[in-house]
Structure 1
Amino acid sequence: MVVWLLISRLSVATPPDEGMWLPIFIQALNYDDMRAKGLKLTAEQIYSANQSSLKDAVVLFGGGCTGEIISEEGLLLTNHHCGYAQIQSHSSVEKDYLRNGFWAKNKDEELPNDGLKVTFIVRIEDVTQQVLSGVTPEMTENQRQAEIERKIKEISKGIEKDSHYEAVIKPFYYGSEYYLFVTETFKDVRLVGTPPDGIGKFGGDTDNWMWPRHTGDFSLFRVYANKDNKPAAYSKENVPYKPKHFFPISLKGIKEGDFTMILGFPGRTQEYLTSYAVELLVEKTNPYRIALREKRLEIINSAMQASDEIRIKYAAEQASIANAYKKWIGENRGLKKMDALQRKRDLEGQFVNWCAQDETRKQRYAQVLPDLAKHYQTLEKVNLAELYINEAVFGADILYLAYQFTAFVDKFSDKELDKIKRRVEGHFKNYDANIDRQLLAVCLQAYYNDIPQALHPAVYAKIQNEFQGDFARYAQYIFDNSLLASKEKASAVLANFTALDLEKIINDPAVELFRQFLEKYLRQVEPIFDQTMAEIDPLMRQYVAGLREMQTDRKFYPDANSTMRLTYGTVAGYNPEPNQRYEYFTTLDQIIEKGKQANQVADYFVPEKLQQLYDARDFGRYADGGTVRTCFIASNHTTGGNSGSPVLNAEGHLVGINFDRNWEGTMSDVMYDPTQVRNITADIRYILFIIDKYAEAGYLINEMKIIE
């Protein structure tokens, strides 16, 4: 949280445009400010439990993104990168939808996606009183949590009884408040269209997290329901979903200073972290995971450049690794530039002084910060080993498969056998043993170099003694001898499998390697990490409660936790450096200009047809100033999970789709700077231009409600 120190008083104001607000509190907390910035809707038109509102056109897409309904036939818009796994799953060398795009010419050609779900919010309720009704001050934290979980189950059961709705109850402010989200989830979601990577991923890793940006980061899906408009598993009998609301699309464009707002499902922020947590993040956590991901990316990128088959297989995995890698670099840079550590310390100094002025406050809060400092010292000892389970141990896919085989052995049954067979199929679909062998060597060496020797499994002595410390040789040994190194070997051992074959898996070198890491983790890392976090969480609940008590004139908002939030701001450029200015929009002209560098920068490849449309100036009604505007920025406070979110104007019309943040603003998960934080939006006019002119899919435009 940005802390503007005020000389005359202890309280601070929330900076303009900061905040991820619960929609049920718009009227009480945000409405006057939103109206002053230009909003022309009522609070009820944005969120209502009783009538159609904007929230009814917004979905949680696939568990980690946002999407929006843009027609009365369930047409759904989200980011290209949100639908990337589905696009990849339908792609092959013969049908290369990543490189060439895909457009269903009619509903029969739309492609089903096994496992893809979208979730609507039916209503939101404050259930804090019910959830905490049985909690007493005398309870231990474990007792408190058990009572809360009992109440949550009780409330959820009442909601879900005789209903297809689900009840999701989540904690806010570290468990000071609880909110119920009644949801409706649809499981038949089909791919309708996607531009090629040269549009949907234009700029690639080179421009990721950067502004200026020129990415047509969108894809189209359709939600299907049964004949009663209710959720149903995939069936040819299903029909397009009829939404309670869908977004009209504005071709009027935007200008600097215009009001914008976003509804979506931001994943995770940590705005109330203490200085101890920020120091650990900036000095230890981020630098180490950045360095390891860089090594992993070097291996994957090199292989992808050499082979189309590898490029398709590893497209989604590479994008995922690179995305967080670049974000963490920007986050560290931004937090240091803002002097975040000192700002946090200043706020904590104010908190200590405030506590000292009143005996009741002193008793309630004085020990909170010293206790947190002590626990973060403990956490630092195991923090990196905890991180490296994901970053290093699971950095090689063979060890993730070994983890799944370990679970299979531990729970052996016919049902588990069927499950592991399916997992083997999925694992090897997008897999290359040569890449994974190199990743295993790099990840094992990183763990060896970066983690204290006391936390090393015994295998490291074997690598030193039998392989002379050569991690590449040891990785080759694993791949030469493991049943998990190829689909053929893994499938063969599972064919006609009986309990007598369990020994083969238990003795497999990859499984044995994973078990060594697992045992070391379970004995020496997880107990300390979990116990320390269990001590930190209630202290953070106390600390944030104290901040809310201290800063009475500040509007607080809860950290993001993948629940629906509203954020709003204004269209605005910014100065990344004192003598440098970035304008608020980009154009197709700039795409063509970047395309001239495609021989040197592959991420700037421009599809031939897009070049032809530009040369002919065939922009149709999507033109603005003799070109097509591609993207724009505004000061909306967003994070991961907001990808695919609708960007709306003052009338609630769709003007774009959120897909990224600027690099200078990636620290906003921890601390918001209104002068630097900008969300990046694909202009809806560029999206429609691609659908209409590039894909020649005017029939999709005809479904939409266009505001000229």
Structure 2
Amino acid sequence: MWLPMLIKRLNYTDMQKQGLQLTAEEIYSVNNSSLKDAIVQFGGFCTGEFVSPEGLLLTNHHCGYGSIQSHSTTEHDYLTDGFWATSKDQELPNEGLFVDILHHMDDVTGKVLEGIDNNTPEEQRQQLIAQRAQAIAQEASENGKYVTYVRDFFNGNEFYLFVYNRYTDVRLVGAPPSSIGKFGGDTDNWMWPRHTGDFSMFRVYTAPDGSAAEYSKENVPYKPKHHLPINIGDKEPGDFSMVFGFPGRTKRFMTSHGLKLEVNQLNKSRIKLREKKLGLWKEEMDKDDATRIKYASKYASTSNYYKYSIGQNEGIKRMRTIEGKLVDEDKFQAWANSSPELKSTYGNVLNDISDAYTTIEKYNLGAVYLNEAVLGTESMLMAYRLTPVYGALKSGNAAAAKKAAEDVKPRVDAFFKDYYKPVDQKVFATLMQSYYEDIAKDQQPAYFKDLVKKYKGNFEKLADYVYSNSIVVDAQKLNNFLSNPTQKVLDNDPAFQIVNAIIDNYRSNISPKLQESEAKLAKANRLYVAGLRLMNPDKVYYPDANSTIRLSYGSVQDYSPQDGVMYNYYTTLDGVMAKEDPNNEEFVVPAKLKQLYEAKDYGRYANSKGELVTDFITNNDITGGNSGSPVINGKGELIGLAFDGNWEAMTGDLVFDPDYKRCINMDSRYLLFLIDKYAGATNLINEMTIVDTDSPGAGDAAKAEAETPQAELLNAVLEEAKQNLQKGKDEFKITKEKGDVKVKLQVKD
């Protein structure tokens, strides 16, 4: 997961050997159009890419799922039926959705760490770093023109500044039905082979002058500096591939002590609590379509990482990851003890890490259950959002309380639109019982323990009391309170008092103990990583992912997950039909897709064998946040859309497995087939640049397309001519104009 600004120095030669045909500047440039200008961070949680000169954006279906769901009703069920805007005026705005486009990044390590060394007291170090990072980011923002931040790398040994343009008018353009976009559902999630059409389409808009602006009917489509041509040629094992995106977070420098905590405490707890919540949600979703729509996005998100935690634990055990870390740590300790100078700095690092984790393990479960059980209950999360209101009321600041209440109001409608009180009450009873039973009693607040005692450990009765008397489970009562907030209401509200008591207890009794150990751990981890790099001076390390833009390169690859089993590198529409089960919502196949399959009406999107490829795999390195990332060939053309990882490499956030790690991608041909043949959205097809590898000069034309209006018009003319010839036309004229450039083509029999 390489930083793109360092590609030229660290990776370019290796990338060329593997099949890259672009220059380093064509991948990352500050002053000229490059691949990085086509990549966006989508909503802060996924990746997207521009595929037309009119701001048309691709991402995964599961990344756009919340937006699709927000526009869905029982009358217009876009989750079930799909959605396609046949003109720009039909595209749907999405409040709160934004995209960030990297303007540039800089190494600011020297500025941040000036005068700081290993002898600087840790508290002073952190204060200086925070102050300097904030000042650097603020100056780079140019009075709010850019979104900026400084992130640490290699566990605090390096620091980089990131400067982004943010656009907040992002409209839904198209999405296939969930039977295509989520085909395989939870059963196939994290698995290969896959047959999922996991994509959705959006468009970014700006003010008429091209500047970022909130939604307005006067806004115009964004003109990206670069958009990706889409290649529909065949792929073969060994073909170069790179993934550009925003991987969320990895912890690959974590020691054996941290891995043990992940496996034995954190993942086990998440699996247990999410399994309970998912079961209760699913039971109600199966009873009623309205409830299914309300909880579809929440269920998918929770389920995704529930299954991930299971796979991660299994993978760590299979790969003997902890045992491998112990070997590495023995080598580190021997190196650290090899001289008095090294020993004075690095000799106690591993002991300090071990000591820190011992304390963290004792108190960390409270943090997990606070997030997964307490705030993992919808009503409790809404109650928590009233905390600023309560704080202002207690301090006697009526104006601040009113302002805090106004800040909550916009969330209320969205909350109750997708809220079903009966199921949330069941979730509350189940998860709060788990909190009471699993968290050490001396780490629980007296208020909560007294309530449990009052209801004699009957959590159904406790839930009845809370949900009959709290304002946060009733839209009218909550809105009335926010219009006239008083401390008395919250003092008497059981949901708020439970959340307030648990959080106050956490902040006063648990968090301080964790903070002390985490500070000790942060210093030891920083020295451990610095020592590893010093110990292995010839090894080129990449930093852990931290939601900043990264590039991964590799190739199209099949793999063998176990003895006697070989997985091919691609799947086809044949597999969709083989999996079809009309009685299982995860494997329903739309009637029109079956008709197209039976007629083999694939058009130009079939491969050289006449198959319609649905998905394929590469050995690129991805993790959460990479969803929606473009998979790009050596010429800079989009060949697929990354959407998942494979079960055998679920340890990816903690350790990279070069033998088993695979990136699961939707094929560009299936994507275009669904837009064109299935949805009939030719308006979208016509604005994209589509390249066939088998056409003479296709790669060169695609490269030139981003450079000159002549080449852009020429590509458009040739594409329209090819479509006419495929339709049997043997005489036609085409004229395309852009500014003072005009391209004409006349074809005669």
Equivalent position of 1:481 in the other structure: 469
Equivalent position of 1:196 in the other structure: 177
Q: What is the aligned counterpart of 1:445 among 433, 442, 457?
A: 433
Equivalent position of 1:517 in the other structure: 502
1:653-692 Cα shifts (integer Å, max 9, x gaps)? 0000100101111101111111111011000100000000
Equivalent position of 1:389 in the other structure: 370
Q: Distance in 2 between matches of 1:146 and 1:133?
A: 13
Q: Distance in 2 between matches of 1:362 and 1:387?
A: 36
Q: What is the aligned counterpart of 2:189 among 202, 205, 208?
A: 208
Q: Is the 8 A contact 1:463 1:470 kept in 2?
A: no
Q: Are the structure 2 counterparts of residues 405 and 156 from structure 1 closer, same or farther at C-alpha, using a change threshold of 3 Å?
A: closer
The residue correspondences of 1:247-646 to structure 2 (distance < 5 A) are 247-412=228-393, 413-459=401-447, 461-495=449-483, 497=484, 501-595=486-580, 597-599=581-583, 601-624=584-607, 625-646=609-630
Q: Are the structure 2 counterparts of residues 426 and 163 from structure 1 closer, same or farther at C-alpha, using a change threshold of 3 Å?
A: closer
Report SS of the residue matched to 2:286. Answer: helix
Q: What is the aligned counterpart of 1:124 among 84, 96, 105?
A: 105
Equivalent position of 2:123 in the other structure: 142
Choose between structure 1 and 2 for higher RCO, CA contacts under 8 A separated by at least 6 residues.
1
Q: Which amino acid aligns with 1:615?
A: E
Q: Distance in 2 between matches of 1:65 and 1:249?
A: 20
Report SS of the residue matched to 2:137. Answer: helix
> 1:380 offset after TM fit, Å?
0.4
> Tell me, which stretches of 5 or more residues in structure 2 are unaligned?
394-400, 693-749
Q: Which amino acid aligns with 1:562?
A: S
Q: Which amino acid aligns with 1:36?
A: K
Q: Distance in 1 between matches of 2:387 and 2:349?
A: 41
Q: Is the 8 A contact 1:396 1:440 kept in 2?
A: yes
1:255-277 Cα shifts (integer Å, max 9, x gaps)? 11111001100010000001100
Equivalent position of 2:642 in the other structure: 658
Bigger mean CA deviation after superposition, 165-174 or 345-354: 165-174
Q: Are the structure 2 counterparts of residues 155 and 468 from structure 1 closer, same or farther at C-alpha, using a change threshold of 3 Å?
A: closer
> 1:459 offset after TM fit, Å?
4.7
Q: Which amino acid aligns with 2:182?
A: K
1:21-63 Cα shifts (integer Å, max 9, x gaps)? 0011112211121111111111111111121110110000000
Equivalent position of 2:672 in the other structure: 688
Report SS of the residue matched to 1:168. Answer: strand
Report SS of the residue matched to 2:202. Answer: strand
Report SS of the residue matched to 1:82. Answer: helix
Q: Which amino acid aligns with 2:678?
A: Y
RMSD between superposed Cα atoms in Å: 1.4
1:182 equivalent to 2:163? Answer yes
Report SS of the residue matched to 1:174. Answer: coil
Q: Is the 8 A contact 1:262 1:636 kept in 2?
A: yes
> 1:158 offset after TM fit, Å?
2.9
Q: What is the aligned counterpart of 2:15 among 24, 28, 34?
A: 34
TM-score of the superposed pair, with normalisation by structure 2: 0.90
1:700 equivalent to 2:681? Answer no
> 1:283 offset after TM fit, Å?
1.4
Q: Is the 8 A contact 1:253 1:655 kept in 2?
A: no
Q: Is the 8 A contact 1:256 1:572 kept in 2?
A: yes
Q: Distance in 2 between matches of 1:603 and 1:152?
A: 47
1:139-171 Cα shifts (integer Å, max 9, x gaps)? 312211222222223322332236722322111
Q: Distance in 1 between matches of 2:594 and 2:490?
A: 55
1:470-489 Cα shifts (integer Å, max 9, x gaps)? 21221112111222222132
> 1:553 offset after TM fit, Å?
2.3
Q: Distance in 2 between matches of 1:285 and 1:161?
A: 41
> 1:494 offset after TM fit, Å?
3.5
1:222 equivalent to 2:203? Answer yes
> 1:554 offset after TM fit, Å?
1.7
Q: Is the 8 A contact 1:365 1:546 kept in 2?
A: yes
Q: Which amino acid aligns with 1:552?
A: P
> Tell me, which stretches of 5 or more residues in structure 1 are unaligned?
1-19
Task: From the CA coordinates, give the structure whose radius of gyration is larger.
Answer: 2
1:171 equivalent to 2:156? Answer no
Q: Is the 8 A contact 2:448 2:501 kept in 1?
A: no
Report SS of the residue matched to 2:63. Answer: coil
After TM superposition, where is structure 1 displaced by more than 4 Å over at least 4 residues in a row? none
Q: Distance in 2 between matches of 1:459 and 1:224?
A: 50
Equivalent position of 2:701 in the other structure: none
Q: Distance in 1 between matches of 2:141 and 2:251?
A: 31
Q: Distance in 1 between matches of 2:448 and 2:543?
A: 44
Report SS of the residue matched to 1:122. Answer: strand
Q: Distance in 2 between matches of 1:702 and 1:342?
A: 55
1:604-657 Cα shifts (integer Å, max 9, x gaps)? 011111111111111111112232110011110100000000000111100001
Q: Is the 8 A contact 2:260 2:322 kept in 1?
A: yes
Q: Distance in 2 between matches of 1:584 and 1:650?
A: 18
